[in-house]
Amino acid sequence: MTTDDTRTITAEWVEDIAVGGAVLGGGGGGSLAKGIEFGELAVEYGRPTIVSVADLDPTDVVLTVSGVGAPAATESHVDPADYVRAVELLVDRLAADGTTVGALMTNEMGGFATVNGLLQSAVTGLPLVDAACNGRAHPTGPMGSIGLSQDAESVQAAVGGVPGTAARLETVVEAELGTAAALVRHAAEDAGGLVAVARNPVPASYAEANAALDTYDRAEAVGRAVRLADDGRDAADRVADVLGGEVSLVGPVESFALETTGGFDVGEVEIEGRELTFWNEYMTLELDGERLATFPDLITTLDAETGMPVSTAELAEGRSVAVVVAPAANLSLGAGMADPALFDPVEQAVGKAVKSHVFN
């Protein structure tokens, strides 16, 4: 394996990719504040390494790192060390079968998700590949499984919950992918709403063919656009320009409803007469019943004054936001976005047609 040591990981770079990742999260992808803290901790701890997946040996094993749960959960507790522990559990489990892990890959883009992997890299010495299972955030584990069949065997480690309480858990799950993902989601509920996860070891050649590549450069460009903006509207315009999208509307949240159920945040919001539905991430945008955007199109919200990204869990009636929309064709997406069957749960969750708008 050859490594790319030319990338300088600084606190400013961490903040840019976290902010840009939060925009690309499309309402989900974890807490931006915790993401910046997590990334800065990684830089302070040691030297996380980022490499191109093409620089790995094709047979090197790549693990996905993720956080699974509902962003609005109020009882969740996951420490930075838990993300490292999840990797250690899975590395040890694979070593028992003679498999050596060669690298890590983050699951998606998001305020936390984009920096997820930096601390694990700094602690374990495993490089983080410049790729993600998906170049935006998504609600379900199978969507971030880079095209692996739902009946493929999966091994996943999950860690979370307040230490010393009944909610604390460390578990390794081995089952068909769909079952394993559901079990980890249930574990997140049992742990208070969130768990740190390591999962789905695949050869580097498979990751290169099925993941979203060069995701950090895109996140950095979006984050830089926000940082250099004069105000909220300027940030929205700059983000739309970087993503080849548009500012769909700017205005106050007129109504907002969120329910945390089954380990997900689900609800709807109305802004300037437009209706947005979300299932962790924004799924649909409509005006008078006319569909304007549908996941995996990026529908994302920025604070109208500061330009900082606003997740679905952070919305509130009266808060003024800008809604930026970018077509899926302009995003770097993983293979999980190409499977129509994975969109059935979206339709069930938000009560809207989705597949007919995506696969036509």
Query: Is there a contact between 77 and 195 (Cβ–Cβ < 8 Å)?
Result: no
If 0-12 CB within 10 Å is exposed, 13-18 middle and 19+ buried, where does residue 231 land?
exposed
Question: pLDDT over 70 for what percent of the chain?
Answer: 98
Residue 25 has pLDDT above 80, yes or no: yes
Query: Is there a contact between 132 and 50 (Cβ–Cβ < 8 Å)?
Result: no
d(CA 253, CA 105): 35
The phi and psi torsions of 139 (rounded to 5 degrees) equal -80, -35
Return the pLDDT at 129. 96
**Span 294-321, mean pLDDT?**
98
Q: Outline where the chain has alpha helix (H).
A: 11-24, 32-45, 80-95, 118-124, 177-190, 204-210, 215-228, 232-243, 344-350, 355-358
d(CA 201, CA 99): 10
Confidence at 5, pLDDT banded by 50, 70, 90: very low
Return the pLDDT at 27. 97
**Span 297-317, mean pLDDT?**
98
31-68 pLDDT tens trace: 999 999 999 999 999 899 999 999 999 999 999 999 99
Residue 1 has pLDDT above 60, yes or no: no
Confidence at 149, pLDDT banded by 50, 70, 90: confident
Residue 251 has pLDDT above 80, yes or no: yes
Query: Is there a contact between 133 and 212 (Cβ–Cβ < 8 Å)?
Result: yes
Residue 242 has pLDDT above 60, yes or no: yes
Site of tokens 């929309």? 325
Measured between its terminal Cα atoms, the distance across the chain in Å is 41
d(CA 310, CA 194): 20
Give the C-alpha distances (Å, rounded to integers) separating 12 from 16, 43, 81, 276. Answer: 6, 11, 23, 32
pTM, full prediction: 0.93
Confidence at 148, pLDDT banded by 50, 70, 90: very high
Give the C-alpha distances (Å, rounded to integers) separating 15 from 5, 43, 185. Answer: 20, 12, 29
The phi and psi torsions of 275 (rounded to 5 degrees) equal -110, 125
Return the pLDDT at 269. 98
User: Which residue segments constitute the domains of the chain, with CATH numbers given?
Assistant: 11-213 (3.40.1610.10), 231-358 (2.40.390)
Confidence at 321, pLDDT banded by 50, 70, 90: very high
66-99 pLDDT tens trace: 999 877 788 889 999 999 999 999 999 999 999 9
165: which residues sit within 8 A by CB, 6+ positions away?
A: none
Residue 350 has pLDDT above 50, yes or no: yes
**Span 209-232, mean pLDDT?**
97
182: which residues sit within 8 A by CB, 6+ positions away?
A: none
d(CA 139, CA 147): 15
Residue 280 CB-half CA count within 13 A: 28
**Span 259-264, mean pLDDT?**
89
Q: How high does pLDDT run on average in the chain?
A: 95
Residue 2 has pLDDT above 60, yes or no: no
Residue 261 has pLDDT above 80, yes or no: yes
Confidence at 4, pLDDT banded by 50, 70, 90: very low
If 0-12 CB within 10 Å is exposed, 13-18 middle and 19+ buried, where does residue 329 land?
exposed
Return the pLDDT at 38. 96
Length of the chain: 360
